[in-house]
Amino acid sequence: MQVIKYVFQPHGDDRGQLISLEEFKDIPFRIKRVYYMYETAKGIVRGKHAHKNLEQILVCIHGTCKVKLDNGMEAKIVPLEKPYEGLYVSSNMWREMFDFSSDAVLMVMASELYDENDYIRDYDTFLEYISTGNF
Ligand code: TYD
């Protein structure tokens, strides 16, 4: 399983750093939605779902967290520890976000608007869905 991690180029000067992310340039899809999580309680695992169509890029813009990606055959754990790193998460990929530092802010850029029908929230249903290959 290939993990795609983007390293964004900051515009740094003696005032500090600035990162700009543009759709189709830095981000490989049209950004239809941005959301972020913060004040995540200790020990919490978020996500625990896959999407049928939606693609995302996750950036831990403050603090740190880990992301487990699982394509049904293989799983990988990717730490997100820098505000200039973006983790690409394709459709049909089970994801879990965990090990949030207390100051973590995890920002997500998504290719689709929020649509509960695009979610697969049960792991066995996910395995079944991808085994059909009908997507
Ligand atoms: P949830 O799907 O449980 O978050 P995650 O699985 O990523 O940990 O979302 C928490 C709540 O927020 C749930 O009631 C749905 C709502 N929500 C929106 O209204 N819009 C959104 O874009 C997202 C991601 C969630």
Q: Could you tell me the pLDDT band of residue 133, with boundaries at 50, 70 and 90? A: confident
Q: What is the pLDDT of residue 70?
A: 98
Average pLDDT over residues 79-98: 98
* DSSP run (H or E) holding 33: strand 33-38
Question: Which protein residue has the closest C-alpha to ligand 1 atom 20?
Answer: 114
Cβ atoms of 37 and 103 closer than 8 Å = no
How does 10-44 read in b/e, with b if 16+ C-beta sit within 10 Å? eeeeeeeeeeebeeeebbebebeeeeebeebeeee
What domains can be seen in the chain, in order of their start residue?
4-10+19-132 (2.60.120.10)
What is the Cα–Cα distance from 72 to 36, expressed in whole angstroms? 26
Ligand 1 contact via 46 beta carbon (within 6 Å):
yes
Per-residue pLDDT tens digits for 35-74:
999 999 999 999 999 999 999 999 999 999 999 999 999 9
| Ligand 1 contacts CB of residue 62 (under 6 A) | no
**Considering the entire predicted model, what is its pTM?**
0.95
Instruction: Please say if 62 is a catalytic residue.
Output: no
The pLDDT tens digits for 97-120 are 999 999 999 999 999 999 999 999
